[in-house]
Amino acid sequence: MQADVADVGIQVGKEGHFIQIPFDVLSIISQTGYVVHAGWWRPVENEALDFAREIMGKMSEPARLPLKAALEYFSQRHHNPYVTFEPEAPDFGQIFSSDSYSSVSSLFIRPLYEYQKDGLKWLQYCCLNQTGGLLGDDMGLGKTAQTIALITWLIEKEILSNILIVVPSTLLENWRREFQTFAPSIVPYIHHGNDRSGSIRLLASQKVVLTSYSMIINDMYLFNKITWGLVLLDEASLIRNPDSERRNALRQIPATVRIAMTGTPIENSLLDLWSIIDFIKPDYLGSRTDFLERYHHRDIKKAIDSSNLQQLKTDISYIMLRRKKEDVLKSLPEKIDIHQALTMKAGEARLYEDQRLSVLDGKQQEPGTFLKLIQDLRQLTTHPVLLQKDRLSDIGIEELRSLSTKFDRTCELLDEIRDRNEKVLIFTEYLNMIDLMRNVFQQRYNIPVFTIDGRVDTAMRQENIDTFSSRDGFGLMVLNPRTAGMGLNITAANHVIHYTRQWNPALEVQASARAYRNGQKKGVNIYYLYYTDTIEEVIDERLRLKTELSSEIITESDTESGMDHYLNAITKSPLNK
């Protein structure tokens, strides 16, 4: 892609006034240092002459600038007096229909929706023109699939080498499995954990390196020694604070192209957006000081009312693609199932291993005793603190997050849902976890958190639903899947999180149907969180297999065959990697 150059402002004469000249005169000026104005040959100021020669040197053809160069000038528009831009939004249709951006790579084995194919073309556009970009699609629209499709294309076409993907540590395993699903021939090198390599040569030899934000900080001495073809950030709202250590570390990493992904580019103020865009393309929105002077309202509502917001919207449209669910509903299923594989934190894994060995030691005991040990194992995968009853009353949310990857990921999801002003149902069968979530989430989000379980009177359950549904904005309800899994209509929520996985898939289907049912006016995202190499992975695989084979729903009477699965499940260990 290229940008047309029409007129250039040139400073002439000692009086220093500007005149607009056609581009075809620019080459004469760059050679002679003079311009004809008002019938007189006038000398061009040295600084303006340098600019004329600079812009002529960057032309790819007469009156055409490479897009990357045009955007560099665009980022200088508030300080460079020699060039002006017409406020015209980019034509995405031209990108989507262009033959310059090819079809899906043969390395990518799954089909894409049409809007995802458009997203892939836009990402190709960002890489070929080396502009970078912000993929700001809504939650559930498949940003990961689109970026993996991009990576397969870059590798197959040998366009950019050394690709670095930075994600929250909670999503490392999920990204690894997404590569297995969409592009099994590409195995990313995971740089994380105590046994990670300290070799620059090893990292530089990998086609795709997958790491976490914390590793970027800890191992900056490795990452900044390599010029990466592409640096890709998932959950890029994590660099919304321009003063954060992770953002400052990422800014120091050399990269040809930078792409960020987030469905929530603005959470607290417009400075969030500046921070992300400035990582992608430094100074594109001006310096931090300049940006705050132009968009000084830190309050989002005041910023929306600001008269110059339209200019900002136009500015970011050149390097940001954002689709909302309602924009692509014809392409989307009404319900999106999102299975997220998680890796236990080190402390969790050790506790799980101790409990797993206890279960193996007790497998010859009476079935009731054996099942009790299995339940303890499942409680541990819900949260380790459930096995420490004396801690339940005083533990805070930050410690809860530090002890459990699943709880930490749940908080990340809730933050995204809050930023969209939408509502969510969380299903867990343990009463202590329901109480814990209600207490800590009420404090974190400053909203009432409603619950439904066997302790809540039947009449009160409907009252809780009515109040939850009638409140504007973000809402959160925690439910027991057995108590609340049937007969209730909670279509005010369009997100469902299965926090504690159920051995009986009918329970999860029924629980999801509280939100995904007649009367639901939005697409529903249903999240299935599970730990790899644990009993939860076996549960997830078994439920997915039953769904794929369209077999009979497992019923409550499935105990006999279930015992074999229990025994198989406890052979998995999160420590045996």
Has residue 556 been placed in a domain? yes
Residue whose pair of structure tokens reads 């009477």 in the numeric block: 557
How far apart are alpha carbons 163 and 234 in whole angstroms? 13
User: One-letter amino acid identity for 429?
Assistant: E
Element (H, E) at 271: helix 270-280
Specify whether 166 is located in the same domain as 202: yes
**What CATH number is attached to the domain comprising 545?**
3.40.50.300
The domain boundary, picked from 19, 41, 75, lies at: 75
- For the record, the structure tokens of 466 come out as 């009515």
Element (H, E) at 215: helix 213-218
Has residue 383 been placed in a domain? yes
CB atoms within 10 A of CB 293: 11
Range of the domain at 214: 97-327
How far apart are alpha carbons 132 and 122 in whole angstroms? 10
Specify whether 107 is located in the same domain as 56: no
Has residue 48 been placed in a domain? yes
Distances 84 to 25, 129, 274, 317 between C-alpha atoms, Å: 17, 21, 22, 17
How far apart are alpha carbons 103 and 529 in whole angstroms? 33
**What CATH number is attached to the domain comprising 162?**
3.40.50.10810
Specify whether 311 is located in the same domain as 366: no
Has residue 453 been placed in a domain? yes
Angle at 202 between CA 200 and CA 204, to 5 degrees: 70
**How many CA atoms does the CB half-sphere of 253 hold within 13 Å?**
31
- Nearest CA-CA partner of 404 in 529, 538, 526, 498: 529
The domain boundary, picked from 273, 306, 327, lies at: 327
Specify whether 319 is located in the same domain as 418: no
Specify whether 356 is located in the same domain as 234: no
Can you point out the beta strands (E) in 317-362?
320-321, 335-342
Cβ atoms of residues 39 and 73 within 8 Å: no
Has residue 90 been placed in a domain? no
- For the record, the structure tokens of 398 come out as 């930050």
- Nearest CA-CA partner of 182 in 217, 138, 237, 143: 143
Has residue 423 been placed in a domain? yes
pLDDT at 6: 41
Specify whether 190 is located in the same domain as 214: yes
For residue 206, the 8-state DSSP code is -
Q: Is residue 272 packed enough to be buried (19+ CB in 10 Å), middle (13-18) or exposed (0-12)?
A: buried
Residue 167's DSSP bridge partners are 212
How far apart are alpha carbons 4 and 64 in whole angstroms? 5
Has residue 419 been placed in a domain? yes
CA-CA-CA-CA dihedral for 412, 417, 421, 426, to nearest 10: -110
Cβ atoms of residues 541 and 531 within 8 Å: no
**How many CA atoms does the CB half-sphere of 402 hold within 13 Å?**
5
Angle at 326 between CA 323 and CA 329, to 5 degrees: 100
Specify whether 356 is located in the same domain as 494: yes
Specify whether 348 is located in the same domain as 318: no
First to last CA, the chain: 46
- Nearest CA-CA partner of 511 in 479, 539, 536, 538: 479
The domain boundary, picked from 75, 109, 127, lies at: 75
Has residue 87 been placed in a domain? no
Cβ atoms of residues 508 and 530 within 8 Å: no
Specify whether 321 is located in the same domain as 348: no
pLDDT at 64: 64
Specify whether 496 is located in the same domain as 406: yes
How far apart are alpha carbons 49 and 68 in whole angstroms? 22
Specify whether 144 is located in the same domain as 37: no
CA-CA-CA-CA dihedral for 100, 326, 143, 544, to nearest 10: -130
Specify whether 513 is located in the same domain as 404: yes
Q: Tens place of pLDDT for every residue, the chain, 577 residues?
A: 444 444 444 444 434 444 455 556 666 666 676 666 555 666 767 777 777 777 777 766 655 666 666 666 666 666 666 666 555 555 556 655 666 666 789 999 999 988 999 999 999 989 988 889 999 998 888 899 999 999 999 999 898 999 999 999 988 998 999 999 999 999 999 999 888 999 999 999 999 999 999 999 999 999 999 999 999 999 999 999 999 999 999 999 999 999 999 988 887 788 999 999 999 999 888 899 988 888 765 455 555 555 567 778 888 888 899 988 777 767 766 888 999 999 999 999 999 999 888 878 766 666 667 777 788 888 999 999 998 888 888 899 999 999 999 999 999 999 999 999 999 999 999 999 999 999 999 999 999 999 999 999 888 998 999 999 999 999 999 999 988 877 788 999 999 999 998 877 778 888 888 898 878 888 899 999 999 999 888 888 877 765 554 333 333 334 344 555 556 667 777 876 5
Q: How many domains does the chain fold into?
A: 3
